[in-house]
A and B are shown apart, each in its own frame.
Chain A
Amino acid sequence: MKVIKKEDLDDFVDELIAKDEREVVGVKSKDSKYVFDKLGKAEELELEYDVTILPPKKYFMPQRETLVEYETREGIEMKAVNEVVPRIIIGIHPYDLESIKQMDKVFADSPEDGNYLEKREKSILIGVNMQQFSEWSFAGSMGTATIEDGYDLMLTDLGDRYAVEIGSSKGRELLEEGSLKIRDAEPEEIEEVEKIEENIQDEFEKELDFSPRNLPWLLAEEYGDEDFWEENAEDCYSCGTCNIVCPTCYCFDVQDFNDISLEEGERMRQWDGCMLEAFAEVAGGENFREERAERYRHRFMRKGRYLYNRFGDIACVGCGRCASQCVPDIADPTNIFNKLWSDKDE
């Protein structure tokens, strides 16, 4: 572990912004909320934040992205496109780092998704331990409040200094770049970080009443309780917000857009979500999750069961974004999971 003074970290970030050829992005405030965005200077960086509106996933899989450009002037000519902007991303919370680890598995699974993987490969992830907590987060219950790996560098606020844990050779190389004033952490500082990480676990207002390991079983058990799902989905708009803001949702929709010249066009992908009515519609117009309640149930099944069965991860990292941004307030996973848990013996 290393230690750096806060003002020296600022200088380091300013130097990266000025000299590094990669784009430097980090957490910035937007009205009363936070977002990951390009940094103009280190001052804009907000490392004390609760949660960002969208997760950093947008840097590896942008909201909208061109996959193919085509021309039809003389026959059809296609060109695969991957617009990779190498980035240094500063200020990622542990739950988001965990979600990136999960997404790395998903996109590396065959068929490999080169557009994601290449962007991911060219990124540096600088994490930060949480100091503020969204009232909707339950990372403590999901084991994602702190993290051992998945970052290149990890910061912990120690008042006038940051402790810096090195997570990879990419992270180490970054520290060697530039004129960084850094030293080894002393035993008291290491102890302090450990104490902070221990205390973080108890900071969450929301929690799961049981171990998340029970989720795959519980969800299989309660899948057929139609009344339960219908009751809870009654106020659902099918607006997809809970999908779009989720760090472990990765569905997209692909469409061709012809230019008005009719001679060229682009194949684009855009984030999609299983809560949207058209999502499960197949050619011919049939929809195999036509009812709101079916779609509503499906999202919880995905988070707590289906992805576990496929990749071995509970695909909810407890960030609370879905819960906080759902307008009718019906998306909170702790609410649904805890209700199912207490209903299970009935």
Chain B
Amino acid sequence: MKPEERPKVAFFDFAGCEGDQLQIANLEEKILDLLNIVEVVSFREVMTEHSDDYDVAFIEGSITDTHNEERLKEIRENAEVLVAIGACATIGGINSIRNVQNFEKVQDRVYGDKRDHYEAWEKAKPAKAVVEVDYEVHGCPIDRDEFLHVVQSLVMGREPHIPDHPVCVECKLNENVCAFERDEFCVGPVTRAGCDSCCVNEGTICWGCRGMIDNPNEEAHEEVLEEYGLTVEEVIKKFDLYFAWQKEVREDE
């Protein structure tokens, strides 16, 4: 691709830990390949310059107040393509735990006695709750290879391959001993694959950071977890680490 043909891309962060941008900054030798196909005009993690002339906007973090909302809408206006990266931006992420907690307590904990200075929403939202999102890179944090795959797909105008089946598929391909056979519990059966079941490969469980698949069987999973001995509160907690926003939307439908 000729240098002047490369789409201009910019990164923006909202409420998140910037862990995803860090993943990108740490692409190492692949960063050069990336720069062959896109031109980065704004990326706080690695450069001080900033430009509002961009084609593709990458959004990290969730939307938690009106100021955020307006800023995101402006970015959407400017950008031809908008990509949400990381669980906070795709599904509300860890931030959305507070969606199911007592809001005043959350404010107290986060802002202490300064809480009245902040006009934060009661619920954290993903980018797609506010604007149209063209592509999503799931995960907390995102997977570098999947990020590159999405970028090259969008540059070539193709649909990226993002699985819509549960993590169990990859977990079984990797021949792991299932968490349920180790007296542990796991939300892999309702979580979107694509991470190569990396957490279970390391001997732990899936916490659901890639969000639920499009058509999860949550009722069954709640029943199953209860059958395996979890209490209702524990079941809800399991699900709400990452799924709070998605669950609410599904309940409203």
List the interface of chain A (C-beta within 8 A of B). 30-33, 35, 53-54, 63-64, 234-241, 244-245, 255, 257-262, 270-271, 273, 276-278, 292, 325, 327-328
Question: In whole angstroms, what is the CA distance A327 to B216 when docked?
Answer: 14
Residues of A near B161 (CB, < 8 A) are 255, 257
In the complex, what residues of B have CB within 8 A of residue A33's CB?
Answer: 177, 181
Contacts of A273 in B (CB 8 A): 169
Closest to B155 in A: A262
Closest to B33 in A: A260
Q: Is B93 an interface residue (CB 8 A)?
A: no
Chain B residues contacting A276 (CB-CB under 8 Å) are 165, 169
| Most interface-central of A30, A235, A239 (chain B CB within 10 A) | A239
Q: B24-48: which have CB < 8 Å to A?
A: 30, 33-34, 36-37
Determine if A271 and B168 form an interchain contact, defined as CB atoms under 8 angstroms apart.
no
Contacts beyond the supplied A245-B172, A260-B36: 14 A-B pairs with Cβ under 8 Å: A35-B175, A53-B176, A54-B175, A237-B166, A238-B166, A239-B189, A259-B33, A260-B30, A262-B1, A262-B155, A277-B214, A278-B165, A325-B172, A328-B220
Residue numbers in A under 8 Å from B152 (CB-CB): 258-260, 262
A to B CB contacts below 8 Å, 24 in the list: A31-B182, A32-B177, A32-B182, A64-B173, A234-B220, A235-B220, A236-B220, A237-B166, A237-B216, A237-B220, A238-B165, A238-B215, A238-B217, A239-B166, A239-B168, A239-B189, A240-B166, A241-B169, A244-B172, A244-B173, A259-B33, A261-B36, A262-B37, A292-B217
Q: Which residues of A contact B223 (CB under 8 A)?
A: 235, 328
Whether the Cβ atoms of A237 and B217 lie closer than 8 Å is yes
B180 interface hit (Cβ, 8 Å): yes
- Contact present for A328 and B172 (CB under 8 Å): no
Given A237-B217, A241-B172, decide whether A327 and B189 contact each other with a Cβ distance below 8 A. yes
B175 engages A257 (CB within 8 Å): no
Q: Which residues of the other chain, B, contact A241 by a CB distance below 8 angstroms?
A: 168-169, 172
CB pair A270–B175 under 8 Å, yes or no, is no
B156 interface residue, CB < 8 Å from A? yes
What total count of A-B pairs have CB within 8 Å? 103
Partner of A277, one of B34, B156, B165: B165
Known A236-B220, A238-B165: A53·B37 in contact at CB below 8 Å: no
Contact between A327 and B178, CB atoms less than 8 A apart: yes
Please tell me the number of chain B residues within 8 Å of chain A, measured between CB atoms: 41
Q: Does B190 contact A (CB under 8 A)?
A: yes
> B202-224 toward A: CB 8 Å interface, digit per residue (1/0)?
00000000000111110011011
Closest chain B residue to A33 by CB distance?
B177
**Chain A binding site: helix, strand, loop or mixed by DSSP?**
loop
Residues of A within 8 Å of B214, CB to CB, are 277
Partner of B168, one of A31, A240, A261, A262: A240
In the complex, what distance in Å separates the CA atom of A310 from the CA atom of B148? 43
Q: Which residue of B lies closest to A234 (CB)?
A: B220
> Which residue of A54, A255, A260, A328 contacts B148 across the interface (Cβ within 8 Å)?
A260
- Hey, which chain A residues are within 8 Å of B172, CB to CB? 53-54, 240-241, 244-245, 325
Complex CA–CA separation, A262 to B149 (angstroms):
10
Q: In the complex, A273 Cα to B190 Cα: how many Å?
A: 16
Going nearest first, the 5 A-B pairs with the smallest beta carbon separation are: A235-B220, A239-B168, A63-B173, A237-B189, A244-B172
User: Taking CB as reference atom, which chain A residue is nearest B223?
Assistant: A235
**Known pairs A260-B37, A277-B164, A327-B180; A239 contacts B220 (CB<8 A):** no
Whole-angstrom distance between the Cβ of A293 and the nearest chain B Cβ: 12
User: Shortest distance in angstroms between A171's beta carbon and chain B's nearest beta carbon?
Assistant: 27
Give every chain B residue within 8 A of A240 (Cβ-Cβ). 165-166, 168-169, 172
B178 & A325 in contact (Cβ 8 Å cutoff): yes
Q: Which residue of B lies closest to A276 (CB)?
A: B165
Q: Can you name the residue of chain B whose Cβ is closest to the Cβ of A31? A: B177
> Min CB distance, B105 to chain A, in Å?
34
- Max chain A Cβ within 10 angstroms of own Cβ: one of B164, B165, B181: B165
CA distance A63 to B174 in the complex (A): 8
Least CB distance, B182 to chain A, in whole angstroms: 7
Interface 1/0 per residue, B35-76 and A, CB below 8 Å:
011000000000000000000000000000000000000000
List residues of chain A with CB within 8 A of the CB of B168.
237, 239-241, 327
